[in-house]
Amino acid sequence: MREDLPFNLFEVNLSEADDSQLLQISEEFGLALDLKEMKRCKEYFSDRGRNPTDVELQSIAQTWSEHCYHRTFKGNTLIDGCKVKLFQDYIAKVTKDLSPSWCVSVFEDNAGIIKFDEDRAIAAKVETHNHPSAIEPFGGAATGIGGIIRDILGVWARPIANTDVLCFGPLNYSYEELLPGTKHPKYLLRGVTDGIGCYGNNMGVPTVNGAIYFDEGYVGNIAVYCGCIGTLPINAYVKDPKPGDVLVLAGGRTGRDGIHGVTFASVELTEESEESSRPAVQIANPIMEEKLKRAIISIRDERLGSAITDLGGGGLSSAVGEMAHSAGCGVSIHLDEVPLRTPDIDPWEIWISESQERMLVVVRERELERVLKIFENEEVEATPIGEFNVDGILRVNQRGDRVAKLDLDFLFNPPEITKKAVWKRPNIGEPQFSVPEDLEDILLRLLASPNVASKESVVRTYDHEVQGVTALKPLQGKYGGPNDAAVLKPFQDSWKGVVISSGINPSYGKIDPYWMAASAIGEAISNNIAVGGRRISLLDNFTWGNPDKPEQLGKLVRACKACYDFAKAFEAPFISGKDSLNNESPLGPVASTLLITAVGLIPDIRKAVSMELKEKGASLYIIGETYPEFGGSEYYKLFGFVGESVPKVKAKQTKERMDLITKAIDSGYINACHDLSEGGLGVAASEMAFSGGLGLELDLKKVPTSMRRDDFILFSESNGRFLVEVPKKLEGPFQELMASSACSRVGIVGGDRFSVEGLNAEKVIDAEISELREIWKRTLDGR
């Protein structure tokens, strides 16, 4: 400890440390740096003839963390004798190859930005908040929503909608089988959903889209995805800090909450995480963030800022460093100017704290007084804490004394890593069993299964209509049916809309992560197309196990390769994303999970199509072929099977039929449209019927397929299929339009029953739609 200072500052003796001591330093300081990285630090400071301060080591650890720098995705991966970079060669390459004209900013800022029209843009970002939500579900999820809203503010956009996709263990999981330090899925579900609703509702940002998924692979590690959509004038997107510009810290005061949040997110959960890592979970204050939002939009509209970013992972350390490095500037920071909750916080804690509701706004010196006045008018504390310069050096001072001095080029060039990946297809086998005698019972059980059942009891806790821009809502019509996507009308002077949808299929990843990723992309895009969306952009979010394990990394390579193959085939660029790795616990790795979020446009929201049946006497058509693909399906899960016949995306045929559906919607041929996913044809047709309060007669002999089993035709989860309702008077032009696609009239709308005629011309299902609806709504009623 430096004895000559009025605050605590440590110098760490790297110069004399051997390899075991370097690792000990990393562990005791909570750095999560490996030996190669610690040796790089030792070399850097030895070249300068000194040892580092604790502030400098903490700054390096935050910047180099998996969470902030994405070392695995940016590093080298060796697989099958080839070397690849996951981000560069797969994710970013899609966007580079497609070079879409509508992209304003991708992979460079807090959120991806795409054009809405010539003058206005849409910003989108999805983040994970897995570890904090596993430790403290309400606070972890609430700060996940708060952080993603700040990401949108961090590109000068006004937040208009939230999304959330949540993955938990089974709700009936045995309490006796829970390991110490692991919370029950029911407790986590309640805490997470309450935290999301509390934050979004208090900020007045509607939650319009999402999903909840249950699987044993999430007992030890849950997955919490928080997303936000915003709008901004294109010419208001400014990222141009210059030497002499002032950095203004605005929002909540800095405390000890959130310390080591990014390094905590970069390691495995253990039995001790509940106690040791609770300080890494931040404290939420949505009212403060609402005031902060209003001030930032005012600064944007007056064109007073030269750059902006949020203080998320790594706190000031990451935000200041990233901003200065990307601008090619140096920067000096005065920690004693940072407003604190308590006065006894050490410099390193101030520097890396992830206390919530804080933003960093960069302004020209001549604009400083006006910017501070705007914050004052909103009762938001704002303080100048530093300034940019020309030398490329990060300097951090406390009460006039230097506590850190780092070359930014060193800070943002960590040692390149090379990891080995191995992929071996699991030997699962395909089950053999006869057609169940009672298919009506099977359908009811599927509708009641947690991954299919209504999520209304959760959705109703979120305000999905505040701001008045939600044109197509998550729950549809009188009976609260499940829409495929949300449609927003973001501007009063335009009927043009934004379409938000998602795709996630973790069960398929147990068989082959390649087809899991393909299905997630296909489903997200299909859901968007089903309501009228087009010109679709994608966001990718990975939740994975430890990438240092070759088999985990091998799965990740498979998923990333599919991202390139299918996003490019569907002409849908990636614009933003995030990876959350090292999601492991004593129970093992998390279920390998890829969430795909799709953001599309619809030229006229008045032509948006919902999923419920609407007209007696209308016809129901299925578009797309049905294959014997049941691996990972909800049908197999009823019997405890996994299977190996994972659904495969036929990209060329699916893209062609998607284009035809878009033309049919624009032509007014379609009353209702629903994507087929979990539970296949049986579930999708039931949902359309009981959501509209209209019966349906279905004929399995008319379904385009080579299969000869009623259960297989009803419950296959083949990708890229749609059910559409077409009015009688429009069947001629509709059939003519769809002539080149696998399209067949399989049903008639009417009555109050859901009946299915099997291959032998006998009724295999004959149920009241009210009974189907009641079963579907019952499962999560009590959460």
Question: In angstroms, rounded to a whole number, what is the distance separating the alpha carbons of residues 168 and 327?
Answer: 41
- Report residue 691 as tokens: 């959501």
Mind listing the pLDDT tens digit for each residue in 357-407? Answer: 999 999 999 999 999 999 999 999 999 999 999 999 999 999 999 999 999
109 is in an annotated binding site: no
Per-residue pLDDT at 259 = 78
Question: In angstroms, rounded to a whole number, what is the distance separating the alpha carbons of residues 454 and 610?
Answer: 17
Thinking of the domain 19-71, which architecture would CATH place it in? Orthogonal Bundle (1.10)
721 is in an annotated binding site: no
Question: Cα 269 vs. chain centroid, distance in angstroms?
Answer: 21
| The pLDDT of residue 746 is above 90 | yes
129 labelled catalytic: yes
pLDDT band at 781 (very low <50, low <70, confident <90, very high): confident
Mind listing the pLDDT tens digit for each residue in 529-538? Answer: 999 999 999 9
577 is in an annotated binding site: yes
282 is in an annotated binding site: yes
- Tell me the mean pLDDT in the region 108-133: 96
Contact assessment for residue 537 and residue 572, using Cβ atoms and an 8 Å cutoff: yes
* Percent with pLDDT over 90 in the chain: 93
Per-residue pLDDT at 265 = 47
Per-residue pLDDT at 421 = 98
Cβ count near 381 (within 10 Å): 15
Checking phi first, is residue 625 left (phi over 0); if not, alpha (psi -120 to 50) or beta? beta
Per-residue pLDDT at 783 = 60
DSSP string, 732-756: HHHHHHTTTS-EEEEEEE-SSEEEE
223-233 and 120-128: which strand pairing? antiparallel
Question: In angstroms, rounded to a whole number, what is the distance separating the alpha carbons of residues 356 and 146?
Answer: 8
| The pLDDT of residue 267 is above 80 | no
| The pLDDT of residue 261 is above 60 | no
Per-residue pLDDT at 272 = 55
Per-residue pLDDT at 4 = 85
Per-residue pLDDT at 760 = 96
Question: In angstroms, rounded to a whole number, what is the distance separating the alpha carbons of residues 15 and 52?
Answer: 9
Q: What are phi and psi of 565, to 5 degrees?
A: -60, -45
| The pLDDT of residue 474 is above 50 | yes
3-state secondary structure of 728: helix
Contact assessment for residue 74 and residue 115, using Cβ atoms and an 8 Å cutoff: no
609-783: what fold? Phosphoribosyl-aminoimidazole Synthetase; Chain A, domain 2 (3.90.650)
| The pLDDT of residue 77 is above 90 | yes
Mind listing the pLDDT tens digit for each residue in 273-332? Answer: 555 444 656 678 999 999 999 999 999 999 999 999 999 888 999 999 999 999 999 999
- Report residue 473 as tokens: 């809502």
768 is in an annotated binding site: no
Contact assessment for residue 206 and residue 464, using Cβ atoms and an 8 Å cutoff: yes
540 is in an annotated binding site: yes
| The pLDDT of residue 68 is above 90 | no
463 is in an annotated binding site: no
Contact assessment for residue 450 and residue 188, using Cβ atoms and an 8 Å cutoff: no
3-state secondary structure of 109: coil
Q: Where are the domains of the chain?
A: 19-71, 85-237+454-608, 609-783
Question: In angstroms, rounded to a whole number, what is the distance separating the alpha carbons of residues 450 and 782?
Answer: 12
Checking phi first, is residue 482 left (phi over 0); if not, alpha (psi -120 to 50) or beta? beta
Question: In angstroms, rounded to a whole number, what is the distance separating the alpha carbons of residues 715 and 352?
Answer: 51
DSSP string, 127-185: EE-HHHHHHSHHHHHHHHHHHHHHHHHTTTPEEEEEEEEEEE--TT--GGGPPTT---H
Question: In angstroms, rounded to a whole number, what is the distance separating the alpha carbons of residues 208 and 230?
Answer: 13
User: What mean pLDDT value characterizes the chain?
Assistant: 95
Q: Which of 67, 131, 260, 325 is catalytic?
A: 67
Q: Which of 129, 260, 334, 464 is catalytic?
A: 129
| The pLDDT of residue 264 is above 60 | no
Model confidence, pTM: 0.96
67 labelled catalytic: yes
3-state secondary structure of 224: strand
Residue type, 695: G
Per-residue pLDDT at 271 = 59
**DSSP 8-state code for residue 493:** T
Tally of residues, the chain = 783
Contact assessment for residue 71 and residue 417, using Cβ atoms and an 8 Å cutoff: yes
Q: Does domain 85-237+454-608 have CATH number 1.20.120.530?
A: no
3-state secondary structure of 55: helix
151 is in an annotated binding site: yes
- Report residue 381 as tokens: 């504390």
- Tell me the mean pLDDT in the region 559-567: 98
Burial of 282-305, coded b for 16+ CB within 10 Å and e otherwise, reads: bbbbbebbbbbbbbbbbbbeeebb
Contacts of 59 (CB under 8 A, 6+ apart): 317, 321, 351, 352, 394, 396, 404, 406, 411
Per-residue pLDDT at 342 = 86
Per-residue pLDDT at 276 = 47
Mind listing the pLDDT tens digit for each residue in 87-107? Answer: 999 999 999 999 999 999 999
**DSSP 8-state code for residue 88:** I
Per-residue pLDDT at 260 = 65
**DSSP 8-state code for residue 606:** G
Helix residue ranges per DSSP H, 251-365: 261-264, 273-276, 286-301, 315-327, 347-352
574-580 and 534-543: which strand pairing? parallel
In 3-state terms the chain splits into helix, strand, coil percentages (rounded to 5) of: 40, 25, 40
The owner of tokens 């399989």 is 746
- Report residue 402 as tokens: 């230097």
* Percent with pLDDT over 70 in the chain: 97
Contact assessment for residue 163 and residue 207, using Cβ atoms and an 8 Å cutoff: yes
| The pLDDT of residue 173 is above 90 | yes
Question: In angstroms, rounded to a whole number, what is the distance separating the alpha carbons of residues 214 and 568?
Answer: 30
- Tell me the mean pLDDT in the region 54-75: 93
125 is in an annotated binding site: yes
88 is in an annotated binding site: no
120-128 and 418-420: which strand pairing? unpaired
356 is in an annotated binding site: yes
Per-residue pLDDT at 256 = 87
Mind listing the pLDDT tens digit for each residue in 644-683? Answer: 999 999 999 999 999 999 999 999 999 999 999 999 999 9
